A and B are shown apart, each in its own frame.
Chain A
């Protein structure tokens, strides 16, 4: 194969989202909350997408949540993931009230279900970046 090597897709730890990724690297989930209207903002910005206030405060939120929906990916599109299949791409709804795209790990793909309780797994992806995966939790 003469296919060029594709690096793992990683988030940019910069700008408005930097505090989020730095918190995840320290095994915490933090998101900005608008001090004017209380909206929890995801993906992270330093202003409120609902009322446009620029007063936001980062707060730690619980990683407890449930699988909102998911797909078992059997054929990846990004080259880095091609030999990682099957894996579970999912949306997790946190009790704090936001939904996060994520990867579900730590269980057989056929055991995943909508509504399944999950908890965070902090997955070191590079020297600088830790990703926020989830795994089943006993409810």
Chain B
């Protein structure tokens, strides 16, 4: 009998990302529907990969809040003129996009299809969200919303508070994450906060939204779309761009964050462990990280649980490292969602795209010096759904 890790190793490097596209994010809902953004960005990504639409035989999609619909995979495929042999719908909150790539890579390795389009696109209209939110049936919410749960803000603020109380983490340390990411965003012309540098003191001077989190430690939802193309090891060599090899992935869910033994120890421990095991790598091999930054506190805890530092040492870790694209631990190098914007149900595809861009060596004047191995991570719910992804320049 073979173990899960033995079997997962057979998925290592069987597929690669070979093309991507990203539309500029926007704070305005605009006149266009999610399907319009999805069709535009899909065409760009397929062209970027040097492929024709007829060569796409797999599609992985995720929910669009502002055009929420059943039968979404086939609706998207039909709309953009694809006839796939593999269709998948992923709905894991912030873990969605990493999980989309994982499923695409596994489907390719299984021989279910050759080339997969993974696409996310959504518009953002706060009014629409309140007046006509998509259905969400969660019995746990009956025990949080009546107490003023404040969306996800309250939970991530409580994680920050507990981390500070237990480990002595400071607001300055958390603010440094946002400030360093903002420095990188100055090299990203389409980032929502391009042209608006931000210091640690600026973060600390911004209004406290949910104590201890300030305004600039909290992500800004927006309209936008991203797509990537994943293909088989056999097809990679014929294509125009250097590939970003999918070397490892892992996913984990732990329900009800309040009842887990320790609120600050999350399923990222397991998702990252699985991704590193598949890749045959360890955190010290990683040369850049694109990890889910809905809040500064999320980044801190993901860094710890993924194994980049010990539990409780996230504060000193971010203080000791230059986290900008030019630094010794490049983190969220296009600004992260905190400075770029958070398009599309918070799925985090923009982090996947930036990881791919860097590993391919196509990040222009924010290219990191060492792009050997990117750790990309998605976090959904309150540290409940986690998916980790390792993208390598070499197989």
A contact residues vs B (CB 8 Å cutoff)? 4, 6, 8-12, 15-17, 42-43, 68-79, 81, 84, 87, 89-91, 98-103, 113-115, 125, 129, 131, 133
Q: How many A-B residue pairs have CB under 8 A?
A: 112
Is B153's CB within 8 Å of the partner chain A? yes
Top 10 A-B pairs, shortest CB-CB distance: A71-B157, A11-B142, A69-B162, A72-B211, A77-B151, A9-B145, A114-B165, A103-B147, A69-B158, A89-B154
Partner of A101, one of B153, B157, B208, B258: B258
Known: A43-B139, A71-B154, A98-B259. 8 other contacts (CB 8 A): A16-B139, A42-B259, A68-B263, A69-B159, A99-B263, A101-B147, A102-B147, A114-B165
In contact, A78 and B148 (Cβ under 8 angstroms): yes
Q: Which residues in B have their C-beta under 8 angstroms from that of A100?
A: 143, 258
Q: Which residues in A have their C-beta under 8 angstroms from that of B1?
A: none
Partner of A91, one of B158, B165, B209, B211: B158
Q: State whether A71 and B211 are in contact (beta carbons under 8 Å apart), knowing that A78-B150, A131-B146 are contacts in the complex.
A: yes
Is B207's CB within 8 Å of the partner chain A? yes
24 CB contacts below 8 A, A to B, read: A9-B145, A11-B146, A43-B142, A69-B162, A69-B165, A69-B263, A71-B157, A71-B161, A73-B157, A74-B207, A74-B208, A76-B148, A79-B130, A84-B148, A89-B149, A89-B150, A89-B154, A98-B259, A99-B258, A101-B143, A114-B161, A114-B162, A125-B146, A129-B146
Write the nearest CB–CB distance from B341 to chain A, whole angstroms: 18
Is B144's CB within 8 Å of the partner chain A? yes
In contact, B143 and A11 (Cβ under 8 angstroms): yes
Write the nearest CB–CB distance from A30 to chain B, whole angstroms: 14
Is B71's CB within 8 Å of the partner chain A? no
Q: State whether A87 and B158 are in contact (beta carbons under 8 Å apart), knowing that A11-B142, A11-B143, A79-B130 are contacts in the complex.
A: no
> How far is A104 from B263 in the complex, measured between Cα atoms in Å?
19
> How far is A101 from B139 in the complex, measured between Cα atoms in Å?
13
Chain B residue, CB-CB nearest to A71: B157
In contact, A9 and B146 (Cβ under 8 angstroms): yes
B contact residues vs A (CB 8 Å cutoff)? 130-131, 139-140, 142-151, 153-154, 157-159, 161-162, 165-166, 207-213, 256, 258-259, 263
Q: Which residues in B have their C-beta under 8 angstroms from that of A10?
A: 146
> How far is A130 from B368 in the complex, measured between Cα atoms in Å?
55
Partner of B143, one of A43, A78, A114, A125: A43
In contact, B158 and A70 (Cβ under 8 angstroms): yes
Write the nearest CB–CB distance from A12 to chain B, whole angstroms: 6
Chain A residue, CB-CB nearest to B126: A77
> How far is A42 from B259 in the complex, measured between Cα atoms in Å?
8
> How far is A101 from B142 in the complex, measured between Cα atoms in Å?
10
Write the nearest CB–CB distance from B211 to chain A, whole angstroms: 4
Q: Which residues in B have their C-beta under 8 angstroms from that of A70?
A: 158, 161
Partner of B210, one of A6, A75, A102: A75
Q: Which residues in B have their C-beta under 8 angstroms from that of A98?
A: 259
In contact, A89 and B143 (Cβ under 8 angstroms): no
In contact, A89 and B140 (Cβ under 8 angstroms): no
Write the nearest CB–CB distance from A130 to chain B, whole angstroms: 10
> How far is A113 from B161 in the complex, measured between Cα atoms in Å?
10
Chain B residue, CB-CB nearest to A97: B259
Q: Which residues in B have their C-beta under 8 angstroms from that of A73?
A: 148, 150, 153-154, 157, 210-211
Chain A residue, CB-CB nearest to B154: A89
> How far is A73 from B150 in the complex, measured between Cα atoms in Å?
8
Chain A residue, CB-CB nearest to B165: A114
Write the nearest CB–CB distance from B170 to chain A, whole angstroms: 15
Most buried by B among A4, A9, A15, A42: A9
Chain B residue, CB-CB nearest to A98: B259
> How far is A69 from B150 in the complex, measured between Cα atoms in Å?
15
Q: Which residues in A have their C-beta under 8 angstroms from that of B165?
A: 69, 113-115
Q: Which residues in B have their C-beta under 8 angstroms from that of A79?
A: 130
Q: State whether A71 and B146 are in contact (beta carbons under 8 Å apart), knowing that A43-B139, A101-B258 are contacts in the complex.
A: no
Most buried by B among A11, A77, A103: A77
Q: Which residues in B have their C-beta under 8 angstroms from that of A11?
A: 142-143, 146
Partner of B139, one of A17, A125, A131: A17
